[in-house]
Amino acid sequence: MTTERAGRVLLPVVVSVLALVSACSSGDSGAADAASPPAPVPVVYAPTANATDVAPRSPVSVSVPDGRLAGVALTPTGGGKAVDGTLSPDGKRWTASGPLALATTYTWSGTATAADGRTNPLGGTLRTIVPKKQIEATLNIGDGRTVGVAAPVEVQFDGHVSDRAAAEKALKVDTSKPTEGSWAWLPDQDGGSRVHWRPKEYWDPGTKVTVTADMLGVDLGDGGFGREDVSSHFTIGRSQIVKADVNSFRMVVIRDGKPVMDVPASYGIDADPNRTTRSGIHVVSEKFTDKRMVSRQYDYDVVEQWAVRMSNNGEFIHANPKSAAAQGTSNVTHGCVNLSLPDAKTYYDSAMYGDPVEVTGTPIQLSPRDGDIYDWAVPWSTWKAQSAL
């Protein structure tokens, strides 16, 4: 009797304990599931998130293979304008549309949303190359200018360019009319390298020219990188060519194939090589209503009017009343082309940067010794050979 009563009492107790254990176990599993965070939305950064030493022209993008992006921005960490970019039509990829700046940290922002509705913010940074030195390029012809038919395109760097091929690949000349031309590297000057582009023949009047130098981030060698992109749009004007035959004692101006001036002139004296006007194609580079001219060697310090520079060795076309008696009969100057005051003023008013001045009849040729624009004194085959490409 006692044994039966004990059995009846123990049985429900055991069952209750099992039920309690079962209930506790079920409750713990549910709490664990509720605390687990959702899996992050897969995001692909290119370059990888938190990348460093990124070249400014490297492809930069962010994408969500199975989802969409919203509000994407890549912004300089210290503040500044966000990088321009475009979102693909399906919303899965954002791509930067321009180069990044050198030595700059950028931060990603925006939202990635998966197909099942999960979301998470974009994050991470991107750091571009910090170069040892940044090299700037400048163009000689500014936007909107009109220039003569012999005008060269000049790119001047403010530092030495070791990798000329890399630099030249970043340069481009587009023309509205088919124009054969070539780049040529000339000796460094003004603290840096320089490269010129000229056509094989004079420019065709009316040609529209666009020059682009996409130098930002270009590795120029020896730790130097291009600082920024530069460009210019300009037009080739009318054709005006000076025919300067020193033995004729006259200067003829041909505009668009027709003579518009034929005036008495005096050129450099042949007896002194230092005073001989150089033969060859000169290029008008600048002009002055009044120009001080000084020579210690020949002991003069004068101001001449209506002076048009045609080379950097001191050769000008200018007025000189003191040589009026020789103009049209003999050559007595120190290398310049002397005209009367009225003739010099007329020519001055018509001249523009890039006009050619073709000097003939002297035994000394224009050469690199005569200044920075001696481009047309170089034979075409030699000029092309001076290209790095």
Q: What is the C-alpha separation between 245 and 328, in angstroms, rounded?
A: 11
196, 282, 318, 334: which one is catalytic? 318
Q: What is the C-alpha separation between 155 and 166, in angstroms, rounded?
A: 14
Q: Does residue 376 sit in helix, strand or coil?
A: helix
Tokens at 226, concatenated: 């291009």
Instruction: Say if residue 363 is preceded by a cis peptide, omega within 30 of 0.
Output: no
Q: What is the C-alpha separation between 216 and 129, in angstroms, rounded?
A: 12
Q: Confirm whether 24 is a catalytic residue.
A: no
Measuring CA to CA, how many Å separate 267 from each of 58, 253, 291, 301, 371?
A: 57, 16, 18, 19, 19
Sheet architecture: strand order including 208-213: 146-147, 230-236, 208-213, 171-175
Q: Identify the DSSP state of 124.
A: -
CB 267 within 8 A of CB 246: yes
The Cβ of residue 7 has, within 10 Å, a number of other Cβ atoms equal to 9
Measuring CA to CA, how many Å separate 36 from each of 64, 92, 115, 248?
A: 23, 27, 20, 99
Q: What is the C-alpha separation between 175 and 10, in angstroms, rounded?
A: 104
Q: What is the C-alpha separation between 373 and 336, in angstroms, rounded?
A: 17
Q: Identify the DSSP state of 28.
A: H
196, 282, 334, 336: which one is catalytic? 336
Q: What angle do CA 227, 228, 233 make, to 5 degrees?
A: 145
Q: Identify the DSSP state of 279.
A: B
Q: Confirm whether 336 is a catalytic residue.
A: yes
Tokens at 47, concatenated: 């370059």
Catalogue the active-site residues.
318, 336
